[in-house]
Amino acid sequence: MGDLMMSVRTRRARRLLVTAGAGALLAAGLNGAGAAAADTRDADVTVSYQCAFPAGPQQVSVRYRAAFPVSAAPGGQVRPGAVTVTLGVPRAAVAGLGAAKIGGTVRVSAVTGQNGASADAGWPALAVEPAAVPDAGAVTLTASGDLPAVTAGPAGDLAFRVGGLALALAPAPAPAEAEAGAGAEAGAEAGTPPDGQAACTPGEGRDQVLATVPLVTPGAGEAPRKQPEKRAALPAGKAPPDCRVLQEEGWQFSGCLYMNGFSNVRKLGGASVLNDPEAPEPALTNVKYNLVPGPTGLGVDVRFRFHEPLRSEATFLTFDFMPTTATMEIDQIGLGTQTAAPYEKGQTRQHVQSSMRVSIRLYDVAVNGTPLEVGDHCQSARPVDVTLSDAPGANITNIVKGGASDGSFEIPPFEGCGVGEDLDPLFTGSVSGPGNYLKITQGAICGLAAATCPPAMPELER
């Protein structure tokens, strides 16, 4: 549950991604790797393609490297640096050429995206430097060239994406660039390209983000976020206005409480706080409960629900130095259950077990102070099931008085992350997975008796 709060006090973060999502990381500035200049940042993305060669379909690895501005003015010109395209072409794909050295051209279908609209980026055909064909293994080919400037819209980050490509390879010396480029397109349309020519599509079936350039109005700094005022303390005997609003029939007692805790996010190697007591408006939890007679005494059966999602602003360090912040929101799905077995002879506390189903959402993400557009629906792809119980030696005595319990849970993959680019792999790769530890401390229930109100926020227990 409280896992994705990423880490309010995280000391280290492990690697975030090494696959396609790394392109998004680079684009967003999460990659601390070298900037080409003070006002540019290098993009370095590898895409796997399926290419339809005359000899049969082949998988081709294509690496894109280029420098992009770290930001641009709304409505202004965005001018990328030169691009270098490195291709790993299986030898079987060009064996029919019967050449010791090959060259040619590569034409990449690149587009820009902004606010849901796409446009052709206008990349020219790039000349492939002649390279020797090895006796075995892939042929490594390199093409490079300048990229045209594009005009940004008035608002919204500008994403550069790479899609399909057309290869036109031939024995060196390569044909003239224009002729080879036209031949690649004509062959693809006819469906019978000559040896060395192929139409290629990304293996994932969609365009891949190469870089994202945020738009910044010159001279305008980031607007400071308005911090909510801390709630005024309630007088003794007074319950919060949102207390006892859980609408469930058939229960003897009702009340409310505060809970908080820590979660260890295994992939990030750090702990995060849940429902931070220092937050201006910590979330309240409402409860309904019955006393259940048993052979040795009374047990307790509880239903609970967060009155509002639990939120925490989290900070972690990407690559051990890049500060990344996010607001994590945990919303409950349905009612949670909590049971306390009757006291057994000689025991001074009840055995307590809790279970709940939640969803996790991320928003207000920023990397080194630069906002990262994740959209309004960046959330866990499926519900998160959490089960907690009192460990041996735990300080919980019973549900009414509160105490600590713990357990572990799995963080599902994420979906719906990104505006104009797919950031799902970023969050899935950085935090999703099993074995995340959670410890929750529940405060005493503010119930019918005035002496039990207002509910007290328990101290955080590690």
Tell me the average confidence (pLDDT) per consecutive run of 10 residues in the chain, 462 residues long: 34 27 30 39 82 87 88 84 90 85 91 83 91 87 91 82 89 53 38 68 78 69 43 83 85 92 72 76 90 82 89 60 71 89 71 89 81 88 89 70 87 89 85 86 89 89 70
Q: 3-state DSSP call for residue 214?
A: coil
Q: Which residue has the tokens 């902004």?
A: 114
Work out the burial of residue 93: count CB atoms within 10 Å of its CB; fewer than 13 is exposed, 13-18 middle, 19 or more buried.
buried
Q: How far apart are CA 222 and CA 293, in angstroms?
A: 59
Residue 323 has a pLDDT of 62
Residue 351 has a pLDDT of 82
Given its phi and psi angles, is residue 135 left (phi above 0), alpha (psi -120 to 50 degrees) or beta? alpha
Strands (E), 10-55: 40-53
Terminal alpha carbon distance of the chain: 16
Q: How far apart are CA 48 and CA 44, in angstroms?
A: 14
Residue 38 has a pLDDT of 37
Considering only CA atoms, give the Rg of the chain: 29
Residue 82 carries which side chain, given as an amino acid letter? Answer: A
Strands (E), 146-282: 150-151, 158-171, 197-202, 208-213, 253-257, 259-265, 270-274
